[in-house]
Amino acid sequence: MKSPHGCWLWVGSISSPDGYGRFTWQRGNHQRTVAAHRFALLVAGESFGAREVAEHECNEPLCVRVGCGHVRKTTQRENLRYAVELGRHAGNRVAVTALSSRVERSRRIRNALRDGWDERRYREAIFGVDSDQQTLF
């Protein structure tokens, strides 16, 4: 789903607990599942070495747009450095709360956009608000 904000958002399967899109394909009797953003790079002609990963420069786990400040190939070391720099990674500590909220956020976005782009539903999904919820003012 192409958003007007620049990201191309995955609206298929989502992994738990990390909230990334997942893509599965089968050739003959062999089935393979990869992160959707990694698959996007493969489709774009990238190949991956043993220590290379797909990184979201845009910080949107559902983005599958290659290049332009969105998804790019990098090393695991650089990916972790970038995550620490942005405050998305807490060293060796496992941030279970952050991961569970990320998968919930990704599912809300996917569900909001399955029938096409809707700015109101997208914003509700991002911020976790319900349009039927009463406001104070």
Name the 3-class secondary structure at 3. coil
Question: Is 86 buried (19+), middle (13-18) or exposed (0-12) by CB count in 10 A?
Answer: exposed
Whose structure tokens read 């609206």? 11
Residue 98 confidence (pLDDT) above 80? no
Query: What is the predicted pLDDT for the residue at 96?
Result: 45
Buried b (16+ CB within 10 A) or exposed e, 33-48: ebbbbbbbbeeeeeee
Q: How many angstroms from the chain centroid is the CA of residue 36?
A: 8
User: What are φ and ψ of residue 133, in 5° steps?
Assistant: -70, 135
Query: What is the predicted pLDDT for the residue at 37?
Result: 98
Q: State both tokens at 67.
A: 């290049």
CA-based end-to-end distance of the chain: 34
Residue 1 confidence (pLDDT) above 60? yes
Is the omega angle on the peptide bond into residue 61 within 30 degrees of 0, that is, cis? no
Residue ranges covered by each domain of the chain: 22-123
Longest dimension (CA), the chain: 59
- Which pTM value belongs to this model? 0.81
Average pLDDT (69-92) is 85
Confidence of residue 88 (pLDDT cuts 50, 70, 90): confident
- 8-state DSSP, 135: P
